Amino acid sequence: MKINMFDIVGDFGEDKDAAAALREADIRPSIRKGQRVCLDFDGVTLVTQSFIHALISDVLRTTGEAALELLEFENCANVVRGIISTVVQYSLDSMLASASLAEEEPRRQKSNQPMRLNGKKKNVKGKAAKVRHTKSRRK
């Protein structure tokens, strides 16, 4: 299935409700059937991260990395490609972190110890957390 995104959103994809409707009407059913879905962004110059999140994040989290074998993104402007990459990465990261938390929970209940990420205590309230350490460039 090929979906012309310009026909749906014009040159700027920002409507989360339209993205969610497209996900539920076309993307999720096709992925469940093992069918390829090509999202053609020709003519779309900008999208919001929340738009892309509503479009694909839940499918990636529920289906996993296998969904990427069936999802294609064509004719993406550089900024659109960057936003898609960001959403794909954090969706898969949150899926893996949630699985890790589910495995960790029985051990935490037994030991009653706080979970540590990268050696630091973090409060995790049912959500995955990822800690990234970056060096400041300021002097």
80-117 tens-digit pLDDT: 999 999 999 988 887 766 665 556 555 545 544 443 43
Residue 68 domain flag: yes
Residue 71 domain flag: yes
**What does the pLDDT read at residue 139?**
40
Residue 137 domain flag: no
Residue 78 domain flag: yes
- Does residue 47 or residue 131 have the better pLDDT? 47
Arithmetic mean of pLDDT over the chain: 79
Q: Residue for token digits 């706080």?
A: 114
Q: 46-47 and 12-13 as β-strands: parallel, antiparallel, unpaired?
A: parallel
**What does the pLDDT read at residue 3?**
97
Residue 101 domain flag: no
Number of domains in the chain: 1
**What does the pLDDT read at residue 65?**
85
User: Is the pTM above the cut of 0.85?
Assistant: no
Q: Residue for token digits 């990822």?
A: 130
Count other Cβ atoms within 10 Å, centred on residue 79: 12
Residue 134 domain flag: no
Check if the beta carbon of residue 40 is closer than 8 Å to that of residue 5: yes
Segments forming the whole domain that contains residue 81: 2-92
Q: pLDDT tens across 39-87, in order?
A: 999 999 999 999 999 999 999 988 888 899 999 999 999 999 999 999 9
